[in-house]
């Protein structure tokens, strides 16, 4: 497909035309759109600074990729009422706030309420045989991939990034499964403790 150079050069181009041509497979338009969407990383870094640098660099890099995927998936609804960058800002803000809320939930889950179970998983050699047997039984009861994540994290000492690559998940999904799995383990150990005391 030929490309109209007037539309795709300079800062006076028609943003709606760029998006529409990109969706039709126009290589030049797609290249320009990718360049324009480089704003996503800058917007997220700016938001993070204004919010007190609550996300680390690796988290921001992951968030940038995730946000770009969201934006690319929504291109068909772009109406050209504003610049591409302004339209992308809405998604950046929403995705950033969603990630912050998840981090807050993870921080709460990683607190004292999970400490005993987390210690048991992290240091099985310091636990009794009964506890180890119970632990393995409870881990097997978890739904996938929570069981795999906890085993890889503690028994194989893998990082969240390594687990994400092995299981073909995002690091943030791995963290979600990890803390969700620990929460389920805590509840099941509490039930077991109540049964033993009863």
Residue 120 and residue 48 share a domain: no
Q: 143 and 90, same structural domain?
A: no
Joined tokens for residue 15: 């943003």
Same domain, 91 and 154: no
Same-domain pairing of 56 and 133: no
Number of domains in the chain: 2
Q: In sequence order, which residues have a C-beta less than 8 Å from that of residue 155 and are 6 or more positions away?
A: 124
Indicate if 11 and 102 belong to the same structural domain.
yes
Read off the pTM. Answer: 0.51
Shared domain check, 117 and 103: no
Q: Name the more confident of 26 and 182.
A: 26
Quick: pLDDT tens for 7-44. Answer: 444 443 589 999 999 999 999 999 999 999 999 999 99
> Which range of residues forms the domain containing residue 120?
112-197
């Amino acid at each position: 497909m030929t490309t109209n150079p007037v539309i795709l050069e300079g800062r006076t181009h028609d943003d709606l035309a760029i998006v529409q041509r990109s969706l039709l497979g126009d290589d030049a338009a797609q290249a320009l759109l990718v360049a324009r969407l480089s704003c996503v990383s800058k917007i997220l870094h700016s938001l993070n600074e204004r919010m007190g640098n609550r996300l680390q660099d690796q988290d921001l890099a992951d968030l940038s990729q995730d946000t770009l995927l969201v934006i690319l998936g929504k291109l068909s609804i772009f109406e050209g009422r504003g610049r591409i960058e302004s339209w992308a800002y809405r998604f950046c803000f929403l995705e950033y706030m969603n990630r912050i809320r998840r981090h807050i939930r993870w921080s709460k889950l990683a607190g004292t309420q999970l400490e005993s179970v987390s210690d048991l998983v992290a240091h099985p050699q310091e636990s009794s045989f009964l506890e180890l047997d119970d632990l393995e039984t409870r881990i097997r009861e978890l739904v996938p991939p929570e069981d795999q994540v906890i085993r890889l994290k503690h028994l194989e000492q893998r990082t969240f990034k390594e687990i994400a690559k092995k299981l073909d998940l995002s690091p943030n999904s791995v963290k979600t499964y990890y803390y969700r799995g620990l929460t389920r383990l805590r509840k099941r150990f509490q039930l077991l403790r109540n049964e033993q005391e009863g």
